[in-house]
Structure 1
Amino acid sequence: MTSPLKLTAKKTSLQDVLVIKPKVFGDERGWFYESFNQQEFLTATGIATPFVQDNHSLSKQGILRGLHYQTQHVQGKLVRVTRGAVFDVAVDLRQSSPTFGQWFGLELSADNHLQLWIPPGFAHGFLVLSEYAEFLYKTTDYYDPSSERCLIWNDSTLAIEWPIDQIGGAPQLNAKDSAGLFWDEAPKF
């Protein structure tokens, strides 16, 4: 007899992007869940890709990171939040995809335990909604600064509906993200 899966995968409006929901076991002591299990991930998603790098960042409220991607050593990402909350966004850059040029966003938080699978060929970014947020992600290829690109967060063609009203002012960006490329000039896959 097989045991029930400890996670579920739900399709989103973007082809191949999945919301992953782990089964959380809780009682009066707190909670526990497996944040990653290769066999469970494969069974729930059908994705057998290996992960080669884990990243962990801490950001203050109002920080916007992204929309990042690499043109070489293209990364798939499995992302989650372990402290606070972010609005997480994926943009489909795959010209052969029926959802090319579209975006998907959702809130990831330490409370909801949701994860987002973003396959290779997407730009990715997030806006910190809470006082602080710790963001963790697994990648399918190594970071390659020479091929890193960035889409500008407020591109009018993409028209991403960032929840700016939740941060009390304009988002804060670093120099690289402020100089992001517009959709029409950004390299695609």
Structure 2
Amino acid sequence: MQERRTPHVVVVMGVAGTGKTTIGPLLADRLGVPYAEGDDFHPPANIAKMSAGTPLTDDDRWPWLDAIGEWAHGRAGLGGVVSSSALKRSYRDRLRSEAPGVVFVHLTGDRKLIEDRMSHRQGHFMPTALLDSQFATLQPLAADEAGVDVDVSGSPEEITERAVQALAELEGHSGSPQSPSPSAPSLK
């Protein structure tokens, strides 16, 4: 069921195992916009490194982030949802430099729950062993970044509903998810 149309591009972000690939398509469906899987933008060398248990460097990530940013830029005014870990502020800044109006949905949760979910994934190249490096790298959304934190406990439908509500609240408080108001209540 389509919830509403949005001209914004939403980046579903978070450490591995938070459900970006599950929640992203559900959120896109609710918003009535297309979904792009962020992992599909990785060059083969990045996938090989992660499959071998080697964390990516910033130099590895820049081309990947640029490709996601280009997709988001192409969806400006049309809307879309794309997944990307976007763990560091500099990575989100890189995405915003290509697509200034992006809004972030940061999937967050208990490390134990996330690790458990990762251990049950089938056919994914990111091993559980890299979870510590993901948490070490993570820089949560800052108050000046357009976005919301969404807890990943519960079913995918419950998580998606929280994301839809948080985005609607963010839009309602600021007039636009692209320009958060300093007086808006913190959704992070």
Task: Normalising by structure 2, report the TM-score.
Answer: 0.27
> Could you state the TM-score of these two structures normalised by the residue count of structure 1?
0.27
* Greater strand proportion: 1
Larger helix share, 1 or 2:
2
